Structure 1
């Protein structure tokens, strides 16, 4: 395990809004106004499940997998990840996980699991004829990325696990039934659990389908064992905010995954680490060494 250090930086702005529609191609924002480009985002089907995605830029592909209750826009577009990666010569693909954003909403927990949702990422790669890519996931997306690193290493050039430490991946310290019940409550005022209130407020802000999110949360409780994590055999960067008590310790996870690097994001919690400059700088440096 190697550690990266960098100075503190102001947080990225994260706000939510929905967008609908499909059919499009990368580079639309250079032709159309921002809102028109959003209406033309493409989608594909993995079996009966429609998955929305964006595909922008040219170069080596990187696939971005957002966290629970988020979306490709909230996690990656609005905090400028997509534009930063494009500026650095990358083709950027980001999907809305099932139950999120503009992808299909499913209401049974059995329709969600980490292997099933990671399968949507593989199906997207097949749809776009991408045999191998760097994959960066945040929080739940980081769990999906770790699963891919363990079970489909030939498809990953590297894995970036953002907002996921030993707690979220192995010990199960992430959001649980308290958050599912908060999502199902009549209103935010009915939620007293502090963690539940945080996720309920975030889901309300992003205008998410809260019933689908509750089903997703109950279906994605798959944890990885220490022995499984120790078998991940791709280059790994683990990036976690220094005050993130959802993810758990990045260094403890880094001690388990062979050859992994750890990036501490100073003064950032689970929500505010996403757009931080330290996070972006560390990821770009890590990727540059994979080129």
Structure 2
């Protein structure tokens, strides 16, 4: 682990593993880098994976303010600068996909290829989860994590994969940071910025996702130039884990395509 400094001085814990071209992996709301533990090694044959603990999570500082998806994108830039990485592939899921939208739109030179998973453009154009799901997520009783697990994974998959699951939130987050992440995700609206994304983009989604309805995949694909999509039938929010290894292979194949007008680049040394 190494520590980067955000523009406001917040310390950001970041983790670098593997070897090859840099790949930034961005986790979901109120989660730290362990979100990616079940599938991270799938990318180490071609990429150096870079994760970090969002402010408010893991080993990063937990300030009272500074929580927004655009602000998190600025934190990613601070991590890349700290590691000396000029350009990276970026794969963001859930709130991490919202962060990745801002990163690619506002810092196009830093993003070589973009993958957006189980996410939404937000705002008035985004398709929101139902009130029933919102009420389920607001629960604070003993069954809260069970309810969230059902939204992440299908019952059939959970029957053969009893956990523990790394996608159900960072249990050590202070209450103010949990609220900050919720406000950040709910306040996301990148609709007007999406056409500015220049990186070739792949949109992935499960068609039984109630946390981020699958209709958002079509919205993103139609709004982002040069975007394509792949839908996983029957999958819920954590398609990247439940549909492994197919999902990881689709991402690898996309990331390793040559860019139009550019030669295929050899893997870069680990930062």
TM-score by length of 1: 0.71
Segment of structure 1 superposing worse, 169-178 or 113-122: 169-178
SS in structure 1 opposite 2:234?
coil
CA contact (8 A) 1:188 1:197 kept: no
Q: Which one of the candidate residues 224, 229, 243 is aligned to 1:262?
A: 229
The Cα shift of 1:271 comes to 3.1
The Cα shift of 1:137 comes to 0.7
CA contact (8 A) 1:182 1:196 kept: no
Q: Which one of the candidate residues 252, 256, 262 is aligned to 1:284?
A: 252
SS in structure 1 opposite 2:138?
helix
**What is residue 269 of structure 2 aligned with on the other side?**
none
CA contact (8 A) 2:102 2:190 kept: no
Q: Does 1:76 align with 2:36?
A: yes
SS in structure 2 opposite 1:230?
helix
Aligned residues: 239
**What is residue 68 of structure 2 aligned with on the other side?**
113
Residue by residue over 1:119-155, the C-alpha shift from the partner in whole angstroms, topping out at 9 and shown as x without a partner, is 1100000001111110111111100101111111111
SS in structure 1 opposite 2:238?
coil
**What is residue 51 of structure 1 aligned with on the other side?**
12
Residue by residue over 1:8-48, the C-alpha shift from the partner in whole angstroms, topping out at 9 and shown as x without a partner, is xxxxxxxxxxxxxxxxxxxxxxxxxxxxxxxxx22222243
Q: 1:224 & 1:172 partners in 2: Cα distance? A: 12
The Cα shift of 1:274 comes to 3.7
**Aligned-residue CA RMSD (Å):** 3.2
CA contact (8 A) 1:167 1:247 kept: no
The Cα shift of 1:222 comes to 3.3
> 5+ residue gaps in structure 1?
1-40
Q: Which one of the candidate residues 179, 183, 193 is aligned to 1:228?
A: 193
Q: 2:4 & 2:189 partners in 1: Cα distance? A: 29
SS in structure 1 opposite 2:186?
coil
Q: 2:66 & 2:150 partners in 1: Cα distance? A: 25
Q: 1:246 & 1:105 partners in 2: Cα distance? A: 26
Q: Does 1:92 align with 2:46?
A: no
The Cα shift of 1:203 comes to 8.2
> 5+ residue gaps in structure 2?
153-164, 259-263, 265-271
**What is residue 253 of structure 1 aligned with on the other side?**
220
Segment of structure 1 superposing worse, 223-232 or 57-66: 223-232
Q: 1:150 to 1:169 in 2, by over 3 A?
A: farther
**What is residue 157 of structure 1 aligned with on the other side?**
112
CA contact (8 A) 1:62 1:93 kept: yes
Please give the residue correspondences for 1:165-204 in structure 2 after superposition, counting only pairs within 5 Å.
Answer: 165-166=120-121, 170-171=125-126, 173=128, 178=134, 182=138, 185=140, 187-188=141-142
Q: 2:196 & 2:239 partners in 1: Cα distance? A: 30
